A and B are shown apart, each in its own frame.
Chain A
């Protein structure tokens, strides 16, 4: 196991380096950090600033310098807020992490429940209903779901029931002056978590259904039943344990992708997380934040992919042997 981990890590480093260089190149050559000086200052000042920022060096030199600083923990300063990026990103990261943890947890539990149910009652009315719903969930753009959900769960109920404030909130994670795990937090959390869960739930449910069906048709399940093991015990002890293995890896990969994929949810619900940070930095050409953001997100996606590979190896002994 240790050597496998080591080998995979060593493989990942060049991939990560090349990916981070490409992203760095793209951001550096797209935005001009001196654009804001252009209106009021004379060319000499701009030239001096470019020299100071090292923008006249070759892109490789720029990348080397930037990567060196990044590894040493000097991530630069946001041109938008003048805060050090090494503080901005962890802050935003914390908020995003809350969404991801709740979203993944709830989606996984529901997906496992419905997936196993659908597989056990294959071709029943319930199975058809749930399969239809997963189809819809996968085919729906999440941002559209968010807009419709805001309307029907937050805005419209105020008119229907004559409420003074929306039953669920859709701005931020807390009301002003409130913090911690409380009712207010829950009210804010419902809509964003629902939004990011719809697609996850739908695709994981389909996955869990088919992997349960695979396991249920295997010989050792029939053997267990033939030996006289009760049906419930066969499902929980024999079938579910094995059918969860593929889902674990899918969850890990998808969770990694979420770090870059919350741009929509956080923008719509004004949650100061990684996605919104990216969006705002992009709109204002905040190069320093964008560069660090890209690398941090790529590292997380990579780590979760690695975790998925390793988890598969640990959970499924047949893979380990190879």
Chain B
């Protein structure tokens, strides 16, 4: 039986993976105002960038928080921990600011004006922080921007 299954797999070698895929580069859209992410962003309004790669249900990547106004310079980077895709949700945790506990992130894979989007909340602080991301590129873009090198060591 195993051999028969294997032959079927050989014939359908490029079997479709199916299901949701969050691999790629995601960013806060430009028409959305930066938001304060509490202690995580030092109360500075920030935008988000997410570089992710999905392997089955497992996901790896980094989440960047950055400020694009002239008054603040902030760039925080967090590794995605225990990241997985489950029922259309991308679930992961990130390290909190300082000695804080890890923060949980739950993003729903959906659609915004015809573009793929991830929308959800960062929880674990006093106030949940809303997050909206739209697709901005693929693995090639992630590599070009060096996001597959991880967070810079300080």
Do the two chains bind? Answer: no
B contacts, CB < 8 Å to A: none
